[in-house]
A and B are shown apart, each in its own frame.
Chain A
């Protein structure tokens, strides 16, 4: 399989990101206007008229490019709406990057939005395809599907269930500590470990409500140009090093060889993205990682699939503080899905926004020292049946 990548060929020269939360007073239209206006304000030399094409990511907030062109008043330009489950925002970004790299356009914008809080339901609501009623997704909830990882992981590696539970608690605790330092986060309070542990088991398996990401509304966007043009618009562009999206045969839930302690799709997309970006020692080379912490055991498994931890060791690294804000490799320094909730179309771009702020030295209390490479990741679906997206971005070319 050829995957040549577009290392350093395109760069982000402007970004915008709304606060994520329960925006009872804002529609998807309002969020789109807010994020894009913020973005144009951050890049004064680019106006709406200068954008040649748009990619819009949304899972459930509308269909077609008009979801974006209508509220923004876009003047007859290409607008493509994309959807790829929880990787929707990232997929909009990826396609926008390739459009610039191909030479088809000079300036494009990737936008993601999701309005989840208008349904009246808790959690994500999917639009179901007419079926025969036999798919486990018909009844099994998302936290329950991800909670399957916990007993399987403990069993495979002989991890004491209490140690595993402590590691899950640490994931939630860490991401909320980080989110408390972020003015855009939905939840902005540190949560004591005792409180997280006390709720364990109340949702699904050993997951409590604080092991789950929140439900919020939000939008985020990025302006993308060819790297050689980047300095025309900003003195600190963010370069794209690698982009990968992977979908597999979804065999996990039907193949006994799958053991629910890894995501094959993540492993494949990581390998592809690292090859494109020239990463050989991820734990040392990557300065920060924004990963898909939809549920706490997910983050633990991701640490191993991404090569940050040895197999069977992520729980220990997590407890040792390796992934804390002041640890060896900060994971979800902005607070993650835990603190932001997960407005599906917006999340991938929100992750890139944290890299953008960190590289520019604008991350405030969360600022890391001289970050060079950032990784963002989304997982769309369930263990064994998902798509995985990985981006590697850098502060410098080369």
Chain B
């Protein structure tokens, strides 16, 4: 029985920084195209949730492996928040594979072995004016593994090579990475790439794959290796920038969006060594593709100013409002309301059917006590009942928009509107939920849900 990917999805955040804008702000060339930018209320965890929730069909994965180079917390597992946001209950395993871009391979292999879920997400930063800043992008991808006739792409072979050399590094606490001289890295990487790719292809019994993806934080290695290993069909990688641990995932998703049945894919991750994986697509792929293709997500975006980008990444300290800081979310109340806060699960009255968010013990309609069932609403669409634009509230993306949202099938809550401008919202506007980080206070990230206009 073959083991492989049974569902996948990518998430590309909505905002873009045009390299020309960057160049104009810094008085340098800038270059062409744009990079994707996580909004101020997004981080690797929230983007991971957005990608992962698109892969969930029937049945909860027993394990979740989360790879990122930008973990929102240290000394605390971030995968648990993703696990909670997906409403997976308390059974099962959730693990961070955080640190380097190579974690992507770790998450994919662990999930493949376990029949679990691999979540790859990253927020990429760099010093103002650096190649990392302009050439990187933010985003996420998720892959659910399983067996049998649901498989969209099976794993035919894999191989790895490992070496210790100082090409790229970052000390904890620093917001930017450093890189050694480019040619040194290139010459260290290329033999490893050739070796791992060859062994993986041999294991799969393939001479030339149909599709090749080379993902590396070392840009020249990526370009050179891609040329050497070229597949039959040229890759049309989304032009969002190099997305760290999410990069191989987003690009694999983009290939799966286009590939036909019975085709082979060589996925090469060159980060502190090299991991090569050969996949073979099945007849199931055309009917099992992601709901929103990567190319479509990459093509639609809205530009932000460079000053906004710096503010969102914490590199430009702006004047705060003359209002007290919001309090940090407290541990015990957050734990008690885990299903509500993280998975947007309300309660439905068994007597009259009224839906409550957050869940309550006493029905607001018929006053029945403790006669409630779980009401998961995260996947429901909603409509704006009334709304406001709050220009007094502090927001790194002013003005803040808040909407009173009525959910399909019942339930109402007041939620912040993400990734939208006031002219996109009116009474009746259809919206959907999105998992975000509302703010950080006292070192605690306040994860909760917002709404965004439905595409």
Binding site for B on A (CB under 8 A): 119-123, 125, 128, 130-134, 136, 138-141, 143-145, 147-149, 151-152, 155, 201-205, 249, 251, 253-256, 258-260
Contacts and interface: CB of A to CB of B under 8 A. Distances in A.
B330 interface: yes
B444 to A, nearest CB: 8
A144 B334 contact: no
A204 B357 CA distance: 25
B389 interface: yes
B412 A255 contact: yes
A131 B390 contact: no
B318 interface: no
B371 to A, nearest CB: 16
Interface string B406-422: 10001111111000000
24 contacts: A119-B324, A130-B330, A130-B332, A131-B329, A133-B327, A133-B334, A133-B446, A134-B340, A136-B414, A138-B326, A138-B438, A140-B390, A140-B400, A140-B416, A141-B323, A141-B390, A144-B402, A151-B387, A152-B385, A155-B427, A254-B358, A254-B413, A256-B410, A260-B385
B386 A260 contact: yes
Tell me which of A149, A205, A253 has the highest count of chain B C-beta atoms within 10 A of its own C-beta.
Answer: A205
Between A128, A141, A155, A203, the greatest number of chain B beta carbons within 10 A of the residue's beta carbon is seen for A141
Interface residues of B, number: 50
Given A125-B324, A140-B402, A151-B386, A132 B336 contact: yes
A132 B337 contact: yes
Given A136-B414, A260-B385, 16 more contacts: A121-B323, A121-B324, A122-B321, A123-B323, A133-B326, A133-B438, A133-B448, A140-B400, A141-B390, A144-B400, A145-B388, A148-B404, A152-B427, A255-B365, A260-B386, A260-B404
Contacts of B326: 128, 133, 138-139
Contacts of A204: 388-393
Nearest to B337: A132
Given A148-B404, A152-B427, A256-B410, A130 B390 contact: no
Interface string B95-121: 000000000000000000000000000
Contact of B413 (A128, A133, A253): A253
Interface of B: 321-324, 326-330, 332-334, 336-337, 340-341, 354, 356-358, 362, 364-365, 385-393, 400, 402, 404, 406, 410-416, 426-427, 438-439, 446-448
For A125, A130, A144, the residue with the greatest tally of chain B CB atoms inside 10 Å of its CB is A144
A139 B439 contact: yes
Given A136-B415, A256-B412, A144 B329 contact: no
Given A130-B330, A260-B386, A249 B392 contact: no
Given A120-B322, A254-B413, A144 B388 contact: yes
